[in-house]
Amino acid sequence: MFLKNKLLLAAAMSTALTAGIAQAETTLNVVTAGSQNMVDYVKTYLAPKFEATHPGVTVNVVGTGPGDAGSHKILEKLAAQQQSGQTVWDVDVAVVHQKLGGDMVKQNLLSAYRDDIKTGTLVTRDSADNALGTDVRGYVMPMFHSQTAIAYNSDFIKTPPASYDELVKWVKKNPKAFGYNGIKNGMSGLAFVAGWIYTYGDDAETLTSEPYNSELKDSWSSAYKKLKRFNKDVTFTPGNAGTLDMLNRGEIFMGPVWVDMFYSWKDQGKLPPSMKLVLIAPGMPGQPMYYAVPAKAANEQLAKEFIELATSPEVQAEGIVKRFNWYPGIDAEHVQKHLTTEEWEKLFIEITPKDLADYGKSFPIAPYFDDIKEGYERQVSN
């Protein structure tokens, strides 16, 4: 039944993918997970740029939906084509979340293409090689990085905490002025808790790589006890947007947020200029979206050229940084000359490239992540 469902899914997606074939000599099929803004970005920005330099090629864009579920649909489609023995698959470029990118490599669904494109040397961040414990070196190029950080109101906080230890002291002196959403209703709260375990449990290097050791979680009791005490002095928010809302209304003065959402709210005037960001030691997690080329893509060479364009410094600056306030997929130093001083400073003056290198962490691998959530529910929420 499972295989049948996957084949039905593959057939449904194939109908969408072949929709544009009749209008062009060659169709490059790009399938992207993520929200509608991801589809719009590829369709209205990347596709026209690529088609302008590749006469006779049409880029056909299909969205599969937000979250890991969207990436899982792509995995199921590729797996179905693999299991049915198809020698040519109808997805040329896949845009997927970090975890599913690793799963696709494990299932031999992707091509090792990164060394074949010029921009492959422009990325050195660990998430380009490590997808929550899976070695994806050579198989993926980050499209962008989302990062969590601590937002604070600089009208009231002149020197923000620089570490979890300093934050604990600050919250004790300023009860209820720090807010987060626990481990439910948004990933910024989960990111904060993961950073807490990196600080008081086991370090990020251990928890973001294999092999998994189920006994480690038994040593985190003191970290949870400390967090339960910490939570008595915080304000719980209803989610990522809820944290920003409460910051804006002055109900809290500090809280963990997604950086791109923070800057988008500032651009829209929903947060005052006094709101700033700090990335505290030893670090907080973020996550990339990946560009990948399926193992039997019909247009492998065109797919490489498309990703090379999408990860070029010019496109990363204009499309990723300026349009979305995302951190670039390639190393930031390569995009700086393509941004104005104001554009560069908006994203990098409060959290510098060195801060990202030092304190930008990955989320834990899945079994450790499950352990952290289970431990929080049992030892902190009860």
- In tens, the pLDDT along 138-160 reads 999 999 998 999 999 999 999 99
What is the average pLDDT value for the chain, to the nearest integer? 91
pLDDT top residue among 3 and 344: 344
> Does domain 26-145+287-348 correspond to CATH entry 3.20.20.140?
no
pLDDT of residue 23 exceeding 50, the answer is no
Backbone CA torsion sign across 240, 244, 245, 250: positive
Using alpha carbons only, how large is the chain's radius of gyration in Å?
21
Please, where in the chain does CATH 3.40.190.10 lie? Answer: 26-145+287-348, 146-286+359-380
pLDDT of residue 9 exceeding 60, the answer is no
CA distance 203 to 318: 35
- What pLDDT sits at residue 325? 86
Region 20-45: mean pLDDT is 83
Largest CA distance in the chain: 67
pLDDT in tens, 65-92: 877 789 999 999 999 999 999 999 999 9
- What pLDDT sits at residue 5? 53
Instruction: Domain 146-286+359-380: give its CATH superfamily.
Output: Periplasmic binding protein-like II (3.40.190.10)
